[in-house]
Chains A and B, each alone.
Chain A
Amino acid sequence: DGGITQSPKYLFRKEGQNVTLSCEQNLNHDAMYWYRQDPGQGLRLIYYSQIVNDFQKGDIAEGYSVSREKKESFPLTVTSAQKNPTAFYLCASRDSNRGMNTEAFFGQGTRLTVV
Chain B
Amino acid sequence: GDSVTQTEGQVTVSESKSLIINCTYSATSIAYPNLFWYVRYPGEGLQLLLKVITAGQKGSSRGFEATYNKETTSFHLQKASVQESDSAVYYCALSDPLLLSGSFNKLTFGAGTRLAVCP
Q: Are A and B associated in one complex?
A: no
Point out residues on B near A: beta carbons under 8 Å.
none
